[in-house]
A and B are shown apart, each in its own frame.
Chain A
C-alpha cells in the first residue's frame, strides 16, 4: 500500500470514523454501566470528605 495522499485520506475517512464511533460507544457504556455507579458516587465524595490530611500507611 503506497503512503500517498489518497491512501492517507482513504484511511482517515474510513477507519477514522469507525474508531471514533467505537470509542464513544465504549466510553458511554462504561459510564452508564449500572454496577459502576457505586464507585463513581464514592469517588465524587472524595474532595469533600473531612478526613485527616495524611497519606495511608499499608
Chain B
C-alpha cells in the first residue's frame, strides 16, 4: 500500500495523518469530560497508526513508472474485503436486534446492549459499512474501465476509502455510547458529519479528475449513476445535518430545523438516501457488471438514460410520503404521493432493461450463480419499487405506516436488491482483482445464493404478514367505537413472525459469512503461473556440479 505511493505522496500522507492525529488529540483533551473525548482517542489512534505505518514504509523505493500502464486496483481490493467485514458486522447486529424483538430480555440490563443503541449499528453497518464500501470499491473499478484512465493519483483513493471507514467506526462506536442526533440514517454528530463532507468532496474530485483524462468521449451511463450518488448524497448530508454544537468540546448539537420543517428535511434526506445511496449507486453497479457478466450490451441504452433522468428528477420530491397524516401541509403529502407513483416508470424501465438484457442468456443465469445473483437483484428491484409506489398512496399508507410492512419493504430492497447486486458484482471481480484464475469454490457461491434467497423470502414474508396483521388490529373497532385490541395484543400476535424474521436474517448472515470465507480462500489460493514467455525458462540449479 505504502510502496505504491510516490515519495511526495508519502510526505502528504504523513502530513494528513499527522494533522488527523492532532485533531484527535485536541478532541481528546477538549472533550475529556464528554463522550467526544473517547472519539478523540479513536481519531488519535487512527492518525497515529497510519502515521507510523507510512513512516516505516517511507524508505521503500519509488514506484516504477510502469505502474501507469496498469489500473490502480489496490483500493478496490481493500474495499472489497472491508465490504465483507462490514457485511458480517452489520448483518450480525441485525440478527441480534431481530432476536431482541422476539426475546426482549436479552439486553441483560447493559445500556449499550439495548435495542435503541444497537439498531443504528445495524442500519449504519449495512447501509454505510457494507453498501458504502461496496460502492466505493466498485466505483473505482468501473470508473477506470469505462474511461480507460487510471485513477489520478495514489493517495486520494486511500484517503476516501480509509477516511470513510473511520467515519463508519466513529458512527457505530458513538451509537453504542448513546451518541445520536436522533435523525434516522443521519445519527452521527456534527464532528463526524464534517469529516464525512471532507471525505466526500475528495471522492467527487477523484471522479472528476479521472473523467477529465478519459479516452472515451461518451461517459458510460454507470458513471452517471455513481456521480449522482456522490453528488446528491453530499447535498442531502450537508443540508440535513446543519446543526449548531453546544460547544466545540461537546458532542451534542442542535439541529437548525425544528417541528414539521425538521421532519420534512429529515425525510427528504431519508428517502433520497434510499434513492441515491441504495438505488442510484447500485444501479451504476448493475449497468456495468450485469452486461459484462452476461456478455451482452445493455438492452436499451436510451432507456437507461431516460430512467436516469427520471429517477434523479422525481425521487427528490417523494420524501413527503413518509409523513402522510401528519402536520405536514396536505398538498405536500399529495405531491410526495404523486411523484412516488410516477417513479414506478423509471424504476421499472431500469428493472426491465436489466431483465431484457438477460433475455437470450437465460442459460447463463441458470448455470452461473454469480449472474443469477444479479438477475434476482433486478427482479427484487422491480418488486420493491412497485411496492414502494403502492405504499406511498395515502390510503394504503394508512394501513402500512408504523407497521412491520415498512420493515418488510425496506428489506426486500436492501436484501433482495442492494445486497444481491453487490454480492453478484463482488464475486464477478474478486478473481481478476486478486489475480486468481477463478473463485475458490463455485459450490459455495451456489450455497450463498440459496441462503440469501431463502433468507430474504422468509424475512419479507414474515414482515408482510406481521405488518398487515398489526395494521388491521390497530384499526379494528368494537360496536361501541372503542379499539378491539390493545397495543400489547398486537405485540403478542407479532411474536411468531419476529422469530421467523430473525431466522431469515440468520440465513442471510450465514450467506455473508460464506462469501467472506470464499473470498479469503480465493486470495489464499496460489497465483496462476505467469504466461510471460520470458519466464518460461528452466530454473538455474541451486548448486552446480563441481562447485
Q: Give the B-binding residues of A (Cβ under 8 A).
A: 9, 20, 23-24, 27-28, 30-32, 39-48, 53-58
Contacts and interface: CB of A to CB of B under 8 A. Distances in A.
Interface string B276-305: 000000000000110110011110011001
Contacts of A43: 216, 218, 220-221, 301
Nearest first, the 8 closest Cβ-Cβ pairs linking A and B are: A27-B309, A44-B301, A44-B297, A56-B215, A47-B292, A55-B150, A40-B301, A43-B218
A46 B216 CA distance: 9
Nearest to A50: B295
B148 A23 contact: no
Given A39-B218, A43-B220, A54-B71, A48 B150 contact: no
A44 B298 contact: yes
A55 B295 contact: no
A58 B150 CA distance: 12
Nearest to B305: A31
Contacts of A47: 145-146, 220, 222, 288-289, 291-292, 297-298
B305 A56 contact: no
A46 B146 contact: yes
B70 A55 contact: yes
Given A39-B217, A47-B298, 15 more contacts: A24-B313, A40-B302, A43-B221, A46-B216, A46-B220, A47-B145, A47-B222, A48-B292, A48-B295, A48-B297, A55-B68, A55-B69, A55-B215, A56-B148, A58-B215
B525 interface: no
Given A23-B309, A27-B306, A55-B71, A45 B218 contact: no
Contacts of A48: 291-292, 295-297
Interface in B201-229: 215-218, 220-222
B313 A20 contact: yes
Contacts of B217: 39
Nearest to B69: A54
Contacts of A40: 218, 301-302, 305
A32 B295 contact: no
B144 interface: yes
Contacts, number: 73
B432 interface: yes
B149 interface: yes
A43 to B, nearest CB: 4
Contacts of A56: 148-149, 215
Contacts of B306: 27-28, 31
26 contacts: A24-B309, A27-B305, A31-B302, A31-B306, A32-B302, A39-B218, A40-B305, A41-B301, A42-B218, A43-B216, A44-B297, A45-B297, A46-B146, A47-B145, A47-B220, A47-B289, A47-B298, A48-B297, A53-B145, A54-B69, A55-B70, A55-B148, A55-B150, A56-B148, A56-B215, A57-B69
B130 to A, nearest CB: 24
Interface residues of B, number: 34
Nearest to B294: A48
Contacts of B150: 55
Interface string B25-44: 00000000000000000000
Contact of B149 (A23, A42, A46, A55): A55
Contacts of A9: 329, 331
Contacts of B296: 48
Contacts of A44: 291, 297-298, 301
Nearest to B314: A20
Nearest to B296: A48
Contacts of A20: 313
B224 to A, nearest CB: 11
A51 to B, nearest CB: 9
A43 B216 CA distance: 9
A9 B332 CA distance: 9
A37 B112 CA distance: 57
A22 B69 CA distance: 44
A39 B305 CA distance: 13
Contacts of A31: 302, 305-306
Interface string B472-487: 0000000000000000
Contacts of B295: 48
A23 B317 CA distance: 15
A7 to B, nearest CB: 14
B127 to A, nearest CB: 26
B516 to A, nearest CB: 26
B43 to A, nearest CB: 35
Interface centre among A27, A28, A30 (most CB of B within 10 A): A27
Nearest to A39: B218
A53 B297 contact: no
Interface in B121-174: 144-146, 148-150
B345 to A, nearest CB: 11
Contacts of A55: 68-71, 144, 148-150, 215
Contacts of B298: 44, 47
Contacts of A23: 309, 313
